[in-house]
Amino acid sequence: MKTFLKVVAFSVVVILFYAFYASYGIPQIKPEAPPQEEKLDLGSMTMYQFIALGDKIFNGKGTCTLCHNPVGGRAPVLDSVASIALEHMKDARYKGKAKTAEEYIRESMLEPSAFVVAGFGVKGTNDTESPMPNVATGAIGLNEAEIDAVIAYLQKKAGTEVTVKIPVGAPAKEEKAEAATAIAKTPDELVAKLGCGACHKIAGQVGALGPDLTKVGAVRKEDYLRRSVLDPDADIAKQCPTGPCAAGMMPKDYKDKMTAGELEMLVKFMVNSK
């Protein structure tokens, strides 16, 4: 009997431990390191550092991975784009001017519709219009040196020759770091910080991957809108600009990226968008 009780007690402890671990222990929330803006001293940068900078921009302020990631399927994975580029330039649908992979990648970032990967175009345009924003403009706003760094990173990633040169005398990098960490004061600031406009028409931005949100308050209630941000897969909107919407298209980690106050400001802004 005593042993039995011991076994039961032990099991209970184990179960409680795992229950606790499951709900609290798994580190799902990666605390983002405060984005320190490194001085872009391009003159004293090695190619490895330049590629590392591209990696950081690709996965960070460039917001590329919001769309280009293996889950969700909203945009092609870019691991080998530097080698696929040559094939795409030969495609009958190609409308751009690039002659090299480097030029192709740069063009893809600045004029996404020069070539639209089959099946990824805005619906009804027969893959002639890309839902990808020009990454030199709007909330993303990469400068030339940053775009070059991303190209270097993608060429390295594909295992092809890195042909971009580290630009000399490039314009100094804009100081955007503070805006990225500071608590947003207006809905426009918040939407820019979170990158909603990469995919949605919202707060003056013109994303074309998710539903237009400029009048969403007329058709959606407050609770629905809050849930859409906290748990995007809970309800799936029907019509997206590129075709039927699907689960997994909208990032799920916004709940970890804003304060409760910011969330309420965002929800209120959408409720009032009529």
CB 37 within 8 A of CB 176: yes
Q: Which two tokens stand for residue 167?
A: 């630009």
CB 206 within 8 A of CB 71: no
Q: Which two tokens stand for residue 173?
A: 């990098």
CB 96 within 8 A of CB 111: yes
Q: Does 155 bind ligand HEC (CB under 6 A)?
A: no
Site string for ligand HEC, 48-67 (x = CB under 6 A): ----------x---xxx-xx
| CA dist., res. 19 & res. 68, Å (int) | 34
Site string for ligand HEC, 98-127 (x = CB under 6 A): -------x--xx--x--xxx--x-------
Q: Does 203 bind ligand HEC (CB under 6 A)?
A: no
- Among positions 211-270, residues that touch ligand HEC (CB under 6 A) are 211, 213, 216, 220, 225, 228-229, 232, 236-237, 240, 245, 249-251, 254, 266, 270
Exposed e or buried b for every residue in 106-141, given b needs 16+ CB within 10 A? bbbbbbbbbbbbeebbbeeeebebbbbbebeebbbe
**Kind of pairing, strands 239-240 and 243-244?**
antiparallel
- Among positions 5-34, residues that touch ligand HEC (CB under 6 A) are none
Q: Which stretch binds ligand HEC (CB under 6 A): 21-29, 43-51, 161-169, 191-199?
A: 191-199
Residues that bind ligand HEC (CB under 6 A): 58, 62-64, 66-68, 74-76, 78, 81, 84, 88, 105, 108-109, 112, 115-117, 120, 130-132, 135, 150, 194-196, 198-200, 207, 209-211, 213, 216, 220, 225, 228-229, 232, 236-237, 240, 245, 249-251, 254, 266, 270
